[in-house]
Amino acid sequence: MTALMTALMVGLVGCGGSSSAGANGAGSPSSPAAHSPATAAAGSATASVSPGGTVRPPAPSASAGASTRPGAASTGPRTSAWNWSSQPAAQARQQARPVRLVSLRSAVNVENGVRFDRLVLEFADGVPGYRAQFVPQVVRPGSGAPLPLAGQAAFELVLTSAAAHDDQGASTLRTAPDGTGPSGLSYALAGDFEGTVHIGVGLSRVAGFRIVELTGPDRLAVGFLS
Predicted confidence (pLDDT) at residue 37 exceeds the cutoff of 90: no
Q: Is residue 46 part of a domain?
A: no
Picking from 164, 162, 159, the residue whose alpha carbon sits closest to that of residue 99 is: 162
Gap between the Cα atoms of 78 and 212, Å rounded: 14
Q: Is residue 62 part of a domain?
A: no
Q: Which tens digits make up the pLDDT trace of 180-195?
A: 988 899 999 999 999 9
Q: Is residue 27 part of a domain?
A: no
198 CB-near residues (< 8 Å, 6+ apart): 138, 140, 141, 156, 157, 158, 159, 189, 190, 191, 192
Q: Is residue 85 part of a domain?
A: yes
Tell me, what DSSP letter sits at residue 33? G
- Coil vs helix vs strand at 36: coil
What is the tally of structural domains in the chain? 1
Q: Is residue 108 part of a domain?
A: yes
Q: So what's the pLDDT on residue 169?
A: 93
Predicted confidence (pLDDT) at residue 129 exceeds the cutoff of 60: yes
Gap between the Cα atoms of 207 and 223, Å rounded: 10
Q: Which tens digits make up the pLDDT trace of 194-221?
A: 999 999 999 999 999 999 999 999 999 9
Provide, for the chain, the percentages of residues in helix, strand and coil under a 3-state DSSP scheme, each rounded to the nearest 5.
Answer: 15, 40, 45
Query: Can you give the residue range of the structural domain that contains 107?
Result: 81-225
Picking from 223, 211, 186, 220, the residue whose alpha carbon sits closest to that of residue 201 is: 186
Q: Is residue 92 part of a domain?
A: yes
Q: So what's the pLDDT on residue 80?
A: 86
Q: Which tens digits make up the pLDDT trace of 69-112?
A: 444 555 456 888 888 999 999 999 888 889 999 999 999 999 98
Report phi then psi at 147, rounded to 5: -95, 120
Confidence band for 20, pLDDT divided at 50, 70 and 90? very low
Higher pLDDT, 41 or 172: 172
Q: Is residue 201 part of a domain?
A: yes
Is residue 198 within 8 Å of residue 191, measured between CB atoms?
yes
Q: Is residue 21 part of a domain?
A: no
